[in-house]
């Protein structure tokens, strides 16, 4: 991975480097996407720990609107830091949104939207927010179009703020 980058890693090269048969890799990981997902596992676990149990504002203890803001910024950074692996591990279109980590993100955002008092169908709103955090979109915007991270994070802030603008009156003033 370090020598070639994720886009150039093959099952043959990994089998050779690990001194195992290619069949052993396929039995263990299923396919190249499975191998890439396994490589992402540690980074994904650390990232999830941050928003599930970490300190505020990303973790519990901050108002939901502040957590949603921090979640988007953290996800943008995480995806851009591991972009080559996410792109290499991206499953085919029909399985893409069924990846457990993806489903956890949507569930987390829907929970934060409900806690922040957002109206409407919070599950569908969370799916829409998740579209902004998609690694393929972030690759397009950051790598292909040259948008800096700060611009992507500011865009997240604008999107989340506008979405929550219609939230219930009890939302703290600092979240509006």
pLDDT tens for 57-111 read 999 999 999 999 999 999 999 999 998 888 888 777 667 777 888 899 999 999 9
Average pLDDT over residues 124-133: 95
Band (174; pLDDT cuts 50, 70, 90): low
pLDDT attached to residue 171: 45
Decide which of 7 and 58 is more confident.
58
pLDDT attached to residue 50: 95
The whole-model pTM stands at 0.74
Taking a C-beta distance cutoff of 8 angstroms, is the pair 125, 113 a contact?
A: yes
134-161 residue pLDDT tens: 999 999 999 999 999 999 999 999 999 9
SS (H, E, C) the chain: CCCCCHHHCCHHHHHHHHCCCHHHHHHHHCCHHHHHHHHHHHHHHHHHHHHHHCCCCCCCCCCHHHHHHHHHHHHHHHHHHCHHHHHHHCCCCCCHHHCHHHHHHHHHHHHHHHHCCCCCCHHHHHHHHHHHCCHHHHHHHHHHCCCCHHHHHHHHHHHHHHHHCCCCCCCCHHHC
Cα angle for residues 128, 130, 135 (degrees, 5° grid): 130
* 67, two tokens: 């957590």
pLDDT attached to residue 167: 58
pLDDT attached to residue 74: 96
pLDDT attached to residue 84: 86
11-53 residue pLDDT tens: 888 888 888 988 888 888 888 888 888 888 888 999 999 999 9
158-172 residue pLDDT tens: 999 998 986 544 445
* 163, two tokens: 């979405």
What whole-number distance in Å separates Cα of residue 161 and Cα of residue 93?
30
Structural domains in the chain, sorted by start: 1-30 (no CATH), 31-168 (1.10.357.10)
């Amino acid at each position: 991975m370090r020598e070639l980058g994720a886009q150039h890693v093959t099952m043959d090269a990994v089998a050779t480097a690990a001194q195992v048969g290619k069949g052993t890799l396929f039995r263990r990981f299923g396919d190249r996407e499975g191998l890439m997902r396994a490589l992402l596992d540690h980074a994904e676990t650390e990232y999830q720990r941050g928003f599930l149990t970490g300190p505020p504002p990303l973790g519990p203890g901050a108002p939901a609107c502040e957590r949603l803001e921090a979640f988007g910024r953290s996800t943008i950074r995480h995806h851009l830091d591991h972009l080559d692996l996410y792109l290499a591990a991206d499953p085919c279109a029909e399985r893409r949104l069924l990846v457990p980590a993806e489903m956890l993100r949507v569930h987390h955002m829907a929970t934060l939207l409900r806690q922040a008092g957002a109206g409407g169908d919070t599950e569908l709103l969370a799916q829409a927010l998740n579209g902004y955090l998609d690694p393929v979109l972030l690759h397009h915007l950051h790598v292909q179009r040259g948008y800096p991270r700060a611009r992507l994070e500011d865009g997240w802030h604008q999107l989340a703020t506008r979405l929550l603008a219609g939230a219930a009156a009890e939302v703290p003033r600092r979240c509006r």
